[in-house]
Structure 1
Amino acid sequence: MSDTPSADTDADDSPFGHTHFVDDDCLASPPAGKVVRFRERPDDPETDPLRFDMWLAAEGSHGPMRHVHPEQVERLSVQSGTMGITHEGDRRQLTAGATAVVPAGDVHRFWNAGDDVLHVRGSVTPGLRTEQFMRVTYGLARDGAPVTPSGMPLNALRLAVLLDEFDDMLLLAHLPMWLQLLGIRTTAVLGRAVGYDNRYPEYLPVRRE
């Protein structure tokens, strides 16, 4: 199995080493050891799923921090490797062939719990603007912006402006949702005042006809 495939390599191949273009279907967050390849985009983002493959590196990959999808169901099927996951108050490890379904509103986190690259085939339903959010956060991480070990912007003002725009898809789990939303709204005002924006056209793909 090649570890340096081209953009059109079969999704079962590890994409580490692939050159990631801004408008490519394959995104990388090097600080977090994460790579995502979009498999199927929703015809109607308000109802249809976004499907993707994700790889987490064997070393240095923390996976996403504890978070919540307020309006989306997330499905994660392990293709190879070992995935650690916490959700619904349970912590466990899943191997190839196992699937976890995370209901909307459930606090959860997943990570590479093994010694090899973890390959997960996932979806979020409905897709909403998940791809846009991922393109921006992965793009910032790839281009050297300070980020957390999981790849989220470290600058609180920049992060608040982003979360204020995308709060229907993702919230962090360290505070109650109502309190977090209040903090996001307040901090986002400050973020915009010093020049941060939620528009990053350099990270969004050229529109396909």
Structure 2
Amino acid sequence: MPKTANYKAGDVVVNPITGERGVVRLGASESHDGSGVYDLYVQPGGAVAGEHIHPNMLESFTVLRGRVGFRIDGKESIVELGAKMTVPIGVAHDWWNVGDEEAHVLVEVYPAARFEEAITDLFGLARNGKTNTNGMPKLLQGALFAREYKDVLYFTKPPLWVQNILFAVLAPIAKLLGYQGSYPEYRTQPRGWVEVEPWPLTDKENGRAR
């Protein structure tokens, strides 16, 4: 089974728990520099899985439709149409749809390959009922997910030092019970597909189309 998500433009993934629907505009494997671009649609009341930190990844959001609430480094704001928010590496953030219509947000990620891996597993776990009502992996599953993707993201609650101690204890138990940090079968499950406008290839080093 493939170990990479290998997303292509037009691929569609859905998280039924958080109300998110993602459409790939440019997959990490398609870009020149490993970046990724995604249209994310969030239903009214929908939100990402929880406040989290990307220790090695830059992320930006441009609101294309609707009203979106953001919490970045503890500061909350409501972002309107056309506004762009950039989250520096290592900064805690969260966002959610505060409007009464579906929100459409353009998400740009750099680097994106491991991010795509994490999203594949996180959305797959949600589809299989292995997350809580907020879309976060349940405790035993979360212990292995956190260790697998510690280079990509970690949730801010409980504190990281508590997570490290707790998950070190729970991880061996989770493995004995058949849980995994990553599930190769999620990479082969059928994906939706829609036609999208080609995204111009750019180089993050100079910001120019290539």
* TM-score, with structure 1 as normaliser: 0.78
Separation in 1 of the partners of 2:70 and 2:98? 9
Over 3 Å counting, the alpha-carbon distance change for 1:26 and 1:44 in structure 2 is closer
How well do the aligned residues superpose, as a CA RMSD in angstroms?
Answer: 2.4
1:152 paired residue number:
136
Q: Is the counterpart of residue 54 in structure 1 residue 37 in structure 2?
A: no
1:184 paired residue number:
167
Given the alignment, which residue of 132, 149, 166 partners 1:166?
149
Given the alignment, which residue of 39, 63, 84 partners 2:48?
63
Q: Is the counterpart of residue 195 in structure 1 residue 181 in structure 2?
A: no
Question: Structure 2: which 5+ runs fail to align?
Answer: 1-7, 190-210
* Identity of matched residues, %: 28
Q: Is residue 49–residue 127 contact of structure 1 (8 Å, CA) maintained in 2? A: yes
Shift of 1:130: 1.3
1:35 paired residue number:
21
SS of 2:17's partner is: helix
How many residues get paired? 181
Q: Can you list the C-alpha shifts for 1:24-52, whole angstroms capped at 9, x where unaligned?
A: 8111111211111122122499x632211
Over 3 Å counting, the alpha-carbon distance change for 1:40 and 1:68 in structure 2 is same
**In the alignment, residue 173 of structure 1 is paired with which amino acid?**
T
Structure with more relative contact order (C-alpha pairs < 8 Å, separation 6 or more) = 2
SS of 1:163's partner is: helix
1:117 paired residue number:
102
**In the alignment, residue 168 of structure 1 is paired with which amino acid?**
D
Separation in 2 of the partners of 1:89 and 1:174? 13
Q: Is the counterpart of residue 127 in structure 1 residue 123 in structure 2?
A: no
Question: Structure 1: which 5+ runs fail to align?
Answer: 1-22
Shift of 1:135: 1.3
* TM-score, with structure 2 as normaliser: 0.78
**In the alignment, residue 161 of structure 1 is paired with which amino acid?**
L
2:192 paired residue number:
none
Q: Is residue 64–residue 111 contact of structure 1 (8 Å, CA) maintained in 2? A: no
